[in-house]
Amino acid sequence: MENIILSLLLFKAMTIYEMRTYIQQNLSTVCSDSLGSMQSAIRKLLEKGYISVDEFIDNNTLKKQYSITSEGVKHYKGWVGTPINIQKMKSMEEGKFFFLGIAPGEKRVAFLKSYISDLEGEYDKLLAIKDYVDKTQQTAIERNTKRIKQDAALVKNLLEVSGEKSVEQAVTNIDNYQLYMLEYGLERIQSDLEFYKKILKREFKETKG
């Protein structure tokens, strides 16, 4: 969560609610949007000096806006290019399937049907996002490039982390990999659907047998 927050703040200063909205809309399959988890991560980042906070009044409400610091940029630069740790990608929930054979037959079937339905819903959601991104990608790149160029600190941070010579190229690279993540999610769900539907068919065959 800490590095996800640093990723967001690399592009613009944000309130915790703005971060949460972004995560809900774009990263729901990657990390939790729990306010508790986000607040805990923010506290740790503040303690480490990786982010700073500014308070302001908006519509008579006190708000806190967070920004990445030079130390945060340094830490993030060291993290972002390192290989994915496959051990950290493992889910305890997936371990439930390993022991599913302990459950009664009707429970196993209900589990599989429910999970397949959830996967299909997630697939439809990601597909709609990808369709939208495909239609708006170039406009989004141009808009974000223009916004970032208006803030010298954002330009400095982005070019330092990316190693690119232009904001346009850095933003394009980022946008491309976000699209790749969508493609990965869709292909993974398709594969999972094929697998769990196959297991469900086996359950029905065994029941009839």
Residue spans of the domains in the chain: they are 1-88, 91-209
- What percent of the chain lies above the pLDDT cut of 90? 69
pLDDT at residue 155, rounded to an integer: 96
This prediction has a pTM of 0.80
| Single-letter amino acid, residue 59 | N
State the Cα angle at 140 between 34 and 10, rounded to 5°. 50
Read off the pLDDT of each residue in 127-144 and give the average, rounded to a whole number.
92
pLDDT at residue 104, rounded to an integer: 92
Read off the pLDDT of each residue in 62-70 and give the average, rounded to a whole number.
94
Q: Yes or no: say if 161 and 80 are a contact pair by the CB < 8 Å rule.
A: yes
Contacts of 2 (CB under 8 A, 6+ apart): 41, 44, 45, 50
Per-residue pLDDT at 208 exceeds 60 = no
Hey, what long-range contacts does 73-80 have (CB within 8 A, 24 or more apart)?
Answer: 73/10, 73/157, 73/160, 73/161, 75/6, 75/48, 75/50, 76/3, 76/6, 76/7, 76/10, 76/50, 76/161, 77/160, 77/161, 79/3, 79/6, 80/3, 80/7, 80/161
Q: What is the mean pLDDT of the chain?
A: 90
pLDDT tens-place string over residues 3-62: 999 999 999 999 999 999 998 888 876 777 888 999 999 999 999 999 999 998 888 888
* C-alpha–C-alpha distance, residues 2 and 52, integer Å: 14
pLDDT at residue 90, rounded to an integer: 65
Top-tier CATH class for 1-88: mainly alpha
Q: Yes or no: say if 50 and 69 are a contact pair by the CB < 8 Å rule.
A: yes
Q: Which helix (H) or strand (E) element contains residue 66? A: strand 61-68
- What percent of the chain lies above the pLDDT cut of 70? 94
Residue position matching structure tokens 């989004």: 140
Judged by average pLDDT, the poorest of 5-14, 93-102, 170-179, 184-193 is 93-102
* C-alpha–C-alpha distance, residues 141 and 108, integer Å: 46
pLDDT at residue 207, rounded to an integer: 59
pLDDT tens-place string over residues 75-115: 999 888 787 776 666 666 777 888 899 899 999 999 999 99
Per-residue pLDDT at 156 exceeds 80 = yes
Cα-flanking dihedrals φ and ψ of residue 99, to 5°?
-105, 10
